Structure 1
């Protein structure tokens, strides 16, 4: 640990945080969700949000 580069230190801390996500104090966030879905899942997620907004605006106008 004494002679690790700043990049190695960042990576070590990131891996430690990933192995214990509750230590960050945040829980799950949008970045974690989108990162786990991939680009197709993200596209479907955005489409569902837009479609839900359109349907909501049509019925509750």
Structure 2
């Protein structure tokens, strides 16, 4: 795929991989939230956030 037709997501991932090759010590502590969310689509990220909020609300209602 040429760089002109590369999607923004693929470009970000390619740049991140190049950065990890240049600086492997930066990934010792894991990727964190940007890597987690970067690998998912926006719909899945929204569903995950919604589930976390609903889970917290259920927890706070039943375990007070």
TM-score bracket for the superposition, by shorter chain length: 0.5 to 0.7
Compared CA separation, residues 34 and 28, structure 1 to 2 (3 A) = same
Aligned residues: 49
Cα RMSD, aligned residues only: 2.7
Q: TM-score, normalised by structure 1?
A: 0.62
Question: Could you list the runs of 5+ residues in structure 2 that have no partner in the other structure?
Answer: 1-14
The structure having more radius of gyration, on CA atoms, is 1
Q: TM-score, normalised by structure 2?
A: 0.60
**Looking at both structures, which has the greater relative contact order when contacts are Cα pairs under 8 Å and sequence separation is at least 6?**
2
Q: What corresponds to 1:23 in structure 2?
A: 25
Divergent runs of 4+, >3 A: 19-23
Question: Could you list the runs of 5+ residues in structure 1 that have no partner in the other structure?
Answer: 1-10
Q: What corresponds to 2:45 in structure 1?
A: 42
